[in-house]
């Protein structure tokens, strides 16, 4: 459909809780078009995921996809997944210090604690109920996108303020070590 403008941190739509999608409307041209706009915009920006409110649609939907992503060379691959009205349950107390960036937070990255074993209940793009268990590094991506639906961006979750850095500094000084930590998590959980 179309590549949309990505809203940036501080925009009121990004800071608000998004609304549940009416299940009966999921197969409508409106919702299907909005899903395609999310996919097109995510791919255009080389994102690993994007939430509807990042492109100005205040609805509880996000998409995730990780292929050979130049923005995230250390991320394990995730097939294109469309998530509507999700809920997340933590399956253990194990967490990982995830260094994150966001299409809505230009230039900046920082460390956020994420759970590594989660169960997500959601509706897919046809309205079918799906229950999925996600373990490993990919669980961080799901929690990042889910937070958007509650009006939270990664800076809201940062506890170590000294971990803020630019993408340029990350790539120069931190990416190698972080990629090793991600690889250890992937080796443990297979994802």
Of residues 87-146, those binding Zn ion (CB under 5 A):
102
CB 104, min distance to Zn ion, A: 5
If DSSP codes are grouped into helix, strand and coil, which group holds residue 163? helix
Give the count of beta carbons closer than 10 Å to the beta carbon of residue 90.
Answer: 15
User: CB of 187: closest distance to Zn ion in angstroms?
Assistant: 26
- In the bound complex, what is the minimum distance in angstroms from residue 139's beta carbon to Zn ion? 15
CA–CA dist 98, 149 (Å, integer)? 19
User: Is 5 an annotated catalytic residue?
Assistant: no
CB 27 within 8 A of CB 77: no
Check binding of 21 to Zn ion (CB under 5 A): no
- Number of helices (H) and strands (E) in the chain: give both, helices first: 6, 8
Asked whether position 82 contacts Zn ion by CB under 5 A, the answer is no
If one asks whether residue 185 binds Zn ion (CB under 5 A), the answer comes out as: no
Catalytic residue from among 30, 100, 145, 177: 145
Q: Which residues lie near Zn ion (CB under 5 A)?
A: 102
């Amino acid at each position: 459909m179309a590549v949309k403008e990505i809203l940036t941190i501080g925009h009121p739509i990004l800071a608000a809780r998004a609304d549940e999608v009416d299940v009966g409307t999921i197969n409508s041209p409106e919702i299907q078009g909005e899903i395609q706009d999310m996919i097109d915009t995510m791919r255009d920006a080389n994102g690993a995921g994007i939430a509807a409110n990042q492109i100005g649609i205040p609805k509880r939907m996000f998409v995730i996809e990780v292929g050979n992503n130049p923005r995230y060379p250390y991320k394990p691959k995730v097939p294109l997944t469309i998530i509507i009205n999700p809920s997340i349950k933590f399956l253990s107390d194990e967490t990982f210090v995830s260094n994150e960036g966001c299409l809505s937070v230009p230039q900046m990255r920082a460390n956020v604690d994420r759970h590594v074993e989660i169960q997500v209940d959601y509706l897919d793009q046809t309205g079918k109920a799906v229950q999925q268990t996600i373990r490993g590094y990919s669980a961080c991506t799901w929690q990042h996108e889910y937070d958007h639906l509650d009006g939270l961006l990664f800076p809201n979750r940062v506890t170590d303020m000294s971990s803020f850095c630019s993408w340029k500094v990350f790539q120069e000084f931190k990416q190698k070590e972080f990629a090793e930590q991600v690889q250890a998590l992937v080796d443990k959980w297979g994802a």
